[in-house]
Structure 1
């Protein structure tokens, strides 16, 4: 096999892999919230543990008729260099919900 064919095959494999990854990332039941220092509607602050925040968030969502499947915490965003209550902490909250709750999550300010 010549070099051009090997290169083309390599590019094709990379494209196939990236398409497969995009399909996984596009799950319509997964929502995100960038945690704030103290302005989250479930009334926890950056000083609360993830366990406390998870309990408060789950209660808040269930009180808004959202069926929660899973909650995870991710440190993938940069915190803002400010001290205001609505500044983000650098922690992203990932919430997986039931299909029937998708519209409600958008109404509550979560994003995909």
Structure 2
């Protein structure tokens, strides 16, 4: 009987330990988006720059605004028109930035959208 109680306690301890959340993201991050323009973005990159150059420029820009970038990526879901050549026209690319949720109001102030 004593063995069974110790086994049960050990099993419960092991079970509760294995359910511990080891996820480092802890739900405190938010995704923001920016529709890339041909040459009107505040970090001075556009359609003639590589994604690496744009990523570095956006990260540097946001850090100067006291926003820490967790991750940054690109997709082709921009809603801006791409059939014009004006500086404010879109490249067809959207910049996706993951930041700490504490920076949400600053990102909105900088004209990023959720």
TM-score, with length taken from structure 2: 0.71
- Partner of 2:86, secondary structure, is coil
Deviations 1:7-53 (A, max 9, x none): xxxxxxxxxxxxxxxxxxxx971000000000000001211000000
2:82 aligns with one of 80, 83, 86:
80
Q: C-alpha root-mean-square deviation of aligned residues, in Å?
A: 1.6
Runs (4+) of structure 1 exceeding 6 A deviation are none
- Which structure shows the higher helix fraction? 1
Aligned residues between the structures? 86
Match of 1:106 in 2: 108
- Report if the CA contact (8 A) 2:29-2:100 is conserved: no
Note the residue ranges of structure 1 that are not aligned, 5 or more in a row: 1-26
- Partner of 1:29, secondary structure, is strand
- Measured in 2, the distance between the counterparts of 1:71 and 1:77 equals 15
Check if 1:71 corresponds to 2:72.
yes
Note the residue ranges of structure 2 that are not aligned, 5 or more in a row: 1-27
Match of 1:9 in 2: none
- Measured in 2, the distance between the counterparts of 1:110 and 1:77 equals 13
TM-score, with length taken from structure 1: 0.72
